[in-house]
Amino acid sequence: MSDFSAQSVIAKLRQRQTPNRDAMAWFAQGLADGTVSDAQAGAFAMAVCLNGLGDVGRVALTMAMRDSGDVLSWDLNGPVLDKHSTGGVGDCVSLVLAPALAACGAFVPMISGRGLGHTGGTLDKLEAIPGLSTQLSERRFRDTVTKAGCAIVGATADIAPADKRLYAVRDVTATVESMDLITASILSKKLAAGLDGLVLDVKTGSGAFMKDIGQARELAEALTKTANAAGCRTTAIISDMSQPLVPSLGNALEVAEIMRVLTCGKGQGPIVDVCAALGGVLLANAKLASDVQSGAEAIVAAIRDGRAAERFGQMVASMGGPVQFTENWARFLPEATVIREVTAKQNGYVSGMDAEGLGHAVVALGGGRRVETDKVNWAVGFSDVIRLGAKVTRGQPLGVVHAGRSDQADAAEHALRKAIEIGPKPAVIPELIQERIG
């Protein structure tokens, strides 16, 4: 008979004591196999939310949730690296960074997620490519990583099952915001991939979950401390999300943007700058570059000379997408029924932008999910969205709406106008890369 019980673990937390590693491991396994009830899981989440775990307890919970299911191991001729973003708008960094890292000698088994709230999901973006499946068997996942150097897939039911259970309970018990639970949730899935190194892109600004840089810094520090203590070398970058990272929002539209970056000689702009910052750290930490600057330069070179595009094409084909996708991507991506340009009604400057509002507008168009069962329209969203600080004249385009119906286009046009503030002075644009932690 076990020395532990859900009641004893919860009681310790209620008394502001941290359960030891064995108790955490027992509780996580109980979450995974159903021994722990929903009521007990909710009480645990609330106790953690109110009283916290501290550094030691946070590491113990993260490793217990990681070990509640399969933990992958690799035998490859290069380091196994990954990146995680806390979520943003027009943020398709993973689709550029993963193949660029592969072109530089790393292997990237990226276990990713779907859209959450106003932020787009990497898996949803990839699935805008006809035929491509992000739910691969472990054998096919391993084969894709080995041959293409990268694969971006969804977690199976056997990866950190305790997290899946606790995440669902947090959503209905008002405990989502707990820094300890956020940290354990993110890292348990990432560490289960068997990584040698990880970089975290912690977003701040109007399009991020952490809109205040103080909150972003607190999360970055919690994540890096915990991951490093768990044995995975980890660094965090705090980057700005005051506006979309690329000028398009929506699944197929963002894939089109990254294909222009990878194949049309447009290896520059904010998305490349973020990829360089994140990839430079990873390559330096993994000894694939002499320092962070050299690593950043290697990432940019792989994007500009077409090696990253080649790896992306290999990954797409291996995951069931078109074999010639890289060469003919525009032919394969779906297009919306209604495409409408939205123009400015006054002169001035773009003095502010509600990036979160734009993200919610994409969801309203059908480009994301309000509930898990919603069907996604891959083609809808916005393109050619004007940038912060730009000078505007009356009649100049602010962006282009891509919708399934005229009434949806009307609502999206209203949302776009509402999200873009035009004033007499341009916005003060924050630095894109704000801090490096860890």
CB 395 within 8 A of CB 344: yes
Indicate if 290 belongs to the active site.
no
Say how far residue 184 (Cα) sits from the centre of its chain: 16
- DSSP lists the bridge partners of residue 249 as 382
Indicate if 170 belongs to the active site.
yes
Instruction: Name the residue with tokens 């056997």.
Output: 158
Indicate if 345 belongs to the active site.
no
Marked catalytic residue, from 190, 233, 304, 311: 190
Marked catalytic residue, from 67, 82, 180, 354: 82
Question: Would you call 417 helix, strand, or coil by DSSP?
Answer: helix
| Amino acid residing at 267 | G
Indicate if 266 belongs to the active site.
no
Marked catalytic residue, from 62, 68, 85, 248: 85
Residue from 215, 217, 167 nearest 189 by CA: 167
CB 226 within 8 A of CB 58: yes
CB 77 within 8 A of CB 40: no
Indicate if 122 belongs to the active site.
yes
Output the six-digit token pair for 285.
């930490």
Marked catalytic residue, from 125, 164, 165, 170: 170
Marked catalytic residue, from 62, 175, 185, 188: 185
Q: 364: which DSSP letter?
A: I
Indicate if 189 belongs to the active site.
yes
Contacts of 162 (CB under 8 A, 6+ apart): 28, 29, 31, 32, 64, 65, 68, 69, 188
Q: What's the CA gap between 319 and 426, in Å, rounded? A: 44
Angle (nearest 5°) at CA 91 between 90 and 96: 125
Marked catalytic residue, from 58, 67, 68, 84: 84
Beta strands in 44-175 (DSSP E): 81-85, 108-112, 150-154
Contacts of 273 (CB under 8 A, 6+ apart): 432, 433
Question: Would you call 108 helix, strand, or coil by DSSP?
Answer: strand
Helices (H), ranges, 127-250: 138-148, 161-172, 179-191, 213-229
Residue from 211, 193, 255, 261 nearest 86 by CA: 211
Marked catalytic residue, from 68, 94, 122, 175: 122
Backbone Cα Rg of the chain: 22
Indicate if 391 belongs to the active site.
no
Indicate if 85 belongs to the active site.
yes
CB 403 within 8 A of CB 336: yes
Contacts of 121 (CB under 8 A, 6+ apart): 112, 113, 114, 115, 368
- DSSP lists the bridge partners of residue 20 as none
Which residue numbers are catalytic? 82-85, 122, 170, 185, 189-190
